[in-house]
Structure 1
Amino acid sequence: MITPQDFTAALASFATGVTVVTVKEGRDDIGSTVTAFTSVSLDPPMVLISVLAASYMCEVLHRSPRWAVTVLSAGQRALAGRFAAEGRPSARLLLGGQDSHRGPRSEALIIEGGLAAVECETRLRIPAGDHVLVVAEVLGVDYLEKAEPLIRVNRRYRS
């Protein structure tokens, strides 16, 4: 039998980029660090994120179909840590002086200094164990900076 600890330890050796997913919900901005982000389709352009089913971010994504993903750069390690909990209200307050702007298609915050931004609209939600896979059509993309990426491997942020 595979234990959760063994499974986590084995998959922690897989390096992945780090993103912050943001959603505008009413007057609040919600943000969460997400390492499970990938492209799904080129035509139409689609992406997928995986979020903890019991998280606040999962609830918000169920209510608010438009959201944004900022791909973080190596210099944004502290920012990733601020959003590492399961989705926090008032994301703008947690940016800690980091500039942001509203995406024109999603109204979600896009964090300045990231490598890229992807604005999305949810098309499909798939329960998958203790997570939910959220498949979305890409509404727009922007290349924000040319810099080193922030990655996560062996439970640590690296560049």
Structure 2
Amino acid sequence: MSEFTEAMAQVAGAVSVVTVRDERDDVGTTVTTFASLSLDPPLVMVSLASAGYLNELLLRRDRWAVSVLSAGQKAMASRFATPGRPGARLLLAGTPHHRGGLSEALVVEGGVTALEAETVQVVPTGDHTLYVARVLAVDYVDAAAAPLVRLRGRYRPVA
């Protein structure tokens, strides 16, 4: 592990699932680089590996959803992080979810919050791509739920 990788492993990040509807299937991945950027207008940011299929898809589709996972959703985070995973609909089979009304992307229920967004700026950065997006809708907020974070290479609940 490089010194930089070790240093960044010390920084906790909220665990989220980003999803987008494709013509053929729904696609999603687990991320820890989702953040609020602006209140007025409401803007968020997500960073994705440039080599991934979801990145390729988001370059064509502007609308997507992000579900910020709760402490009890470690298995969901792992499913969406597994290489060679099937489509998002299969990963969500048997799990409460719905399709976002504005993005048409799948939204995982039971997390701490979920948003639908529309990309307004794409910024290539090293081996990742940053997507700055306008918030279209807040699908839900559960302030009583404990969030799931990734710290030191592991998923951890926040008390």
Superposition TM-score tier, normalisation by shorter sequence? over 0.9
For 2:74, what is the secondary structure of its paired residue? helix
Aligned to 1:117: 114
1:81 to 52, 75, 78: 78
Q: CA RMSD in A?
A: 1.5
1:113 match: secondary structure: coil
Cα distance in 2 for partners of 1:69, 1:87 equals: 20
1:39 to 32, 36, 49: 36
1:26-80 residue CA offsets vs partner (Å, 9 max, x unmatched):
1410010010011111111000000001111100111111000000000000110
2:50 to 53, 62, 65: 53
Kindly state the Cα deviation for residue 112 of structure 1 after the two structures are TM-superposed: 1.1
State which drifts further: 80-89 or 68-77.
80-89
Consecutive unaligned residues of structure 1, counting only runs of 5 or more, are none
**TM-score, normalization by structure 2:** 0.93
Q: Structure 1: which 4+ aligned runs deviate by more than 6 Å?
A: none
- Assess, with a 3 A threshold, how the Cα gap between structure 1 residues 51 and 19 changes in structure 2: closer, same or farther: same
TM-score with structure 1 setting the length = 0.93
8 Å CA contact 2:79, 2:85 repeated in 1: no
The structure 1 residue matched to 2:25, chosen from 17, 25, 28, is 28
Distance change in 2, residues 1:14/1:129 (3 Å)? same
- Does the C-alpha gap of structure 1 residues 86 and 60 become closer, same or farther in structure 2, counting only changes over 3 Å? farther
